[in-house]
Chains A and B, each alone.
Chain A
Amino acid sequence: MTTIDDQEVPMRVIERPAWSAKETSEGPQELLERSGTPDEEILREAGGVLRLPDGHVLDAGQIDVERSDDETMIINMGPQHPSTHGVLRLMLELDGETVLRTKSVIGYLHTGMEKTGEELTYVQGATNVTRMDYLSPLHNEAVFSLATEALLGVEIPDRATWIRTLMLELNRVSSHLMWMATNGMDLGSTSMMIFGFREREMVMSFFEKTTGLRMNNNYIRPGGVAADLPDGWEDDIDILCETILERTFEYDQLLTGQPIFRERTEGVGGLLAEEALALSVTGPLLRSTGVPWDLRRTMPYLAYDQLDFDVLVGTYGDNFDRYAIRLGEIRESIRMIRQILEKMPTGDYRVQDPKVTPPPRGRIDSSMEALIHHFKIFTEGFKVPEGEVYAAIESPRGEIGCYIVSDGSSKPYRMHIRGPSFVNLQVLPLLLRGGLMSDAVACISSVDPVMGEVDR
């Protein structure tokens, strides 16, 4: 018995009344039947992206838009599906087992972090943004800090720059290891999942030692980093690099040369460079199509212009290329970390500018001015000159950008994060179209979405 409008109504499970369906409905955000969808949108959901100004690609002959609704079936995948990496909900139109149209319904993890960012000072801001892409929190902090510093016009010390570079590369390793783990699981290799998590744990332990936290570190802040590297960090990094590098060759044995894995990834989810560019796709997805675009190389920031590394590109833009690129990037990152180990300069780990840096703990006990200064920075924050700036760095998922508008106060007037996985998700209709339902899981995985950042 169920109550509707104070009346008790007997109900069976199979009789789902309209109001019950409405409880979970997202209305027009969902994938609708062909008869109720404009041609442009059908084409987009079917993966048609390359539109020329004269519109001749809109030819219905190239894409089967005229199929009738009763030939196909629309099904839901997610938001609580184990392979959707969080709360991604996909609606798929299927013909038998073949995917015809795809639409992602997102927003299940939306917590209004851009709005929150407007309520927090620049000092607190890094704590907020670090929670967006929870697999590479340091990249979020770094891009926010770089944008803030560009508005402030402060130059951070050399050591801070190198520590940031080191931590970002370590974070890339841990993020890609996590991807290897989940991708392995999506393709049925549970050993890879265990291995990936095991190696990632080494990086996490180092983060815990350095920043105090495994995730959401709030370590990279405007003006430098929160703390210097711990004593003996060189040895930790040495062991970490050696172990993880060695184990990447175990992954080669486990997956790269394995016929079943190759069969399931090669030629699946193909993407062309033109399509990737048109859809604003960045990161390993773009590089898998053969476009050598890596912000670390093409628009260097931090200390990347002083490091020797290769930008890995693929040829076919399929799932295997993306796997190979990410595996290779782990090795390239380790190569960079080893160079950083040698080149790490001595000096300050944060800028000694009283405007943005709190006084050292020792002086707070002895100096009244230092105490007031400390109090002011953490209550009011520091004022940032008026202006607007867009900073972008290469996160493990692609270009993460931060657009800040400052009105001269101590809080950002507008803080917008360009999330790479939010934009990259648009490629799904294209990757999935014409493929099998079982390959859909592999394609979602190869996009590597992090829903915390997609929904922000």
Chain B
Amino acid sequence: MGSRDANGNSIGDSSVSDLALGELNDVSHAGGVGVDQVLFPTREAYHGLVLRLKESGFEMCADLCAVDFLTHPGRALPDGIRPERFEVVVNLLSLSQKRRVRVRVQVPESDASIASLFDVYPGSEAMEREAYDLIGIRFSNHPDLTRILMPEEWEGHPLRKDYGSGRVPVQFKETPGPR
């Protein structure tokens, strides 16, 4: 394992990846619509699962975003997965196997934090910053968890459902009075 190249050895080894994914299906839950496979790990298992997915041939983290399910709690989830307010959705891409897998992790409101994928996929850095900025998920072990799209002194996380577009006055530095 120690000598494994960042991606070189894992590309094109389909038997290994099928085995690994088969195992993953037992420990987590697969389901969802569309052609992509969807995995629902727990928050604790998330980082390890992504690491194993990378080792089994998913070379690229195509997308990472967060969703606030505050006003839509009754979404369809597999048995045994307790819906929480936030969800972090990671789309991984395997170039060698030409397929995608989606990892959806429940993140509770009381402790909106999750492990950063930066050490697995350095390319998730900006996407995690965006999720932090707009939804307010904190990624532990992220090297530079600052706002990325909003100004640094902005209050609140705009893509949260309780943020309310049109109600909160636009915050500019010269804005007089209380916000």
Give residues in A with beta carbon < 8 Å to B.
23, 25-29, 38, 40-41, 44, 49-55, 106-107, 110, 112, 114-116, 119, 150-151, 274, 277-282, 291, 293, 298-299, 386-390, 392, 399, 401, 403, 405, 407, 413-414, 416, 418, 422-423, 425-426, 455-456
Contact = CB atoms under 8 A, between A and B. Distances in A.
Given A280-B61, A280-B123, A416-B65, A29 B152 contact: yes
Nearest to B1: A53
B165 A26 contact: no
B63 A390 contact: yes
CB-based closest 6 A-B pairs: A280-B123, A27-B152, A40-B143, A107-B149, A418-B63, A279-B123
A403 B127 CA distance: 14
B57 to A, nearest CB: 12
A40 to B, nearest CB: 4
B78 interface: no
B115 to A, nearest CB: 14
B152 to A, nearest CB: 4
Contacts of A387: 32-34, 76
Contact of B127 (A298, A299, A423): A423
Interface string B117-130: 00101111111001
B149 A401 contact: no
Interface in B128-179: 130, 134, 143-144, 146-153, 158-159, 163, 165, 173
A170 to B, nearest CB: 26
Contacts of A386: 75-76
A44 B8 CA distance: 22
Nearest to A281: B123
Given A41-B143, A115-B159, A403 B134 contact: no
Given A106-B149, A416-B63, 8 more contacts: A53-B51, A274-B8, A277-B95, A280-B124, A388-B32, A389-B34, A403-B89, A426-B125
Given A407-B72, A422-B126, A423-B123, A390 B152 contact: no
Nearest to A27: B152
Contacts of B121: 278, 280
A212 to B, nearest CB: 29
A426 B173 CA distance: 29
Contacts of A278: 6-7, 121-123
B82 interface: no
Contacts of B159: 114-115, 414
A51 B123 contact: no
B158 A112 contact: yes
13 contacts: A28-B144, A28-B146, A29-B147, A54-B2, A112-B158, A280-B62, A282-B62, A387-B32, A387-B34, A390-B36, A399-B93, A401-B63, A418-B63
A51 B100 contact: no
> Residue among B72, B100, B122, B158 with the most chain A CB within 10 A?
B122
Contact of A390 (B60, B100, B130, B151): B100
Contacts, number: 144
A125 to B, nearest CB: 15
B122 A51 contact: yes
A44 B123 contact: no
B55 to A, nearest CB: 9
Contacts of B150: 107, 110
Interface residues of B, number: 55
Interface of B: 2, 4-8, 32-34, 36, 51, 59-63, 65, 67-68, 71-72, 75-76, 89, 91, 93, 95, 98, 100, 102, 119, 121-127, 130, 134, 143-144, 146-153, 158-159, 163, 165, 173
Contacts of A54: 2
Contacts of B152: 25-29
A389 B152 CA distance: 32
B148 A29 contact: yes
B28 to A, nearest CB: 17
A416 B102 CA distance: 14
Contacts of B93: 399
A455 B126 CA distance: 12
A23 B126 contact: no
A80 to B, nearest CB: 17
B8 A414 contact: no
A107 B151 contact: yes
B125 A53 contact: no
Contacts of B67: 405, 413-414, 416
Nearest to A274: B6
Nearest to A23: B173
Contact of B148 (A23, A106, A277): A106
A404 B148 CA distance: 22
A280 B60 contact: yes
Contacts of A426: 122-123, 125-126
Contacts of A405: 67, 72, 75
> Residue among B5, B8, B159 with the most chain A CB within 10 A?
B159
Contacts of B153: 27
B8 A399 contact: no
B140 to A, nearest CB: 13
B143 A44 contact: yes
A426 B80 CA distance: 37
Contact of A150 (B34, B63, B163): B34
B65 A44 contact: no
A280 to B, nearest CB: 3
B62 A49 contact: no
A413 B165 CA distance: 14
A298 B99 CA distance: 9
